[in-house]
Amino acid sequence: MKNQILSEKCGPCHGPYALGTKAGGFVFTTQIGSDVTGEMVTGGIREQTKALMENAKAVLEAAGTTMNQVAKVTIYIKDITMIPEMNAVYQQYFTDGYPARCCTQCVDMVDGCLVEMEFVAVA
């Protein structure tokens, strides 16, 4: 059984997708650095990473889990040279060890997006 996850702390979806889903003992969410109105936050990679991590945290908490239960993260980043700045923010959200991770450069991202992350967490 699949359940859609909602959080008023996140902006609205602008397409045919959910903020998150819970299925098979896992929670799945993909986030970008948008604010509660759905607009991309201003600033650079650090600001966008913080916003998307806060969005992911909100979805996971709405599903009854935490960032420390994240098992896998896939990261799409516009410029691979931004990884150290992204990491400076990213690492602050995991206090009980880091999840497995894949990071790849993706130069054609939507609407000024510099980074997008896909999370898989234990429910």
pLDDT in tens, 63-75: 999 999 999 999 9
- Residues 109-122 pLDDT 10s: 988 999 999 999 99
Residue 113's SS3 state is coil
Q: What domains can be seen in the chain, in order of their start residue?
A: 2-122 (3.30.1330.40)
- In whole angstroms, what is the distance from residue 93 CA to residue 54 CA? 9
Rounded to an integer, the average pLDDT of 104-108 is 94
Sign for the pseudo-dihedral over CA of 34, 36, 37, 41:
negative
List the structure tokens of 2.
């699949």
DSSP state of 102: E
- In whole angstroms, what is the distance from residue 11 CA to residue 23 CA? 22
Band the pLDDT of 1: cuts 50, 70, 90. low
13: pLDDT strictly greater than 90: no
Query: What is the CB-side half-sphere exposure of residue 39 using CA atoms within 13 A?
Result: 4
- pTM assigned to the model: 0.92
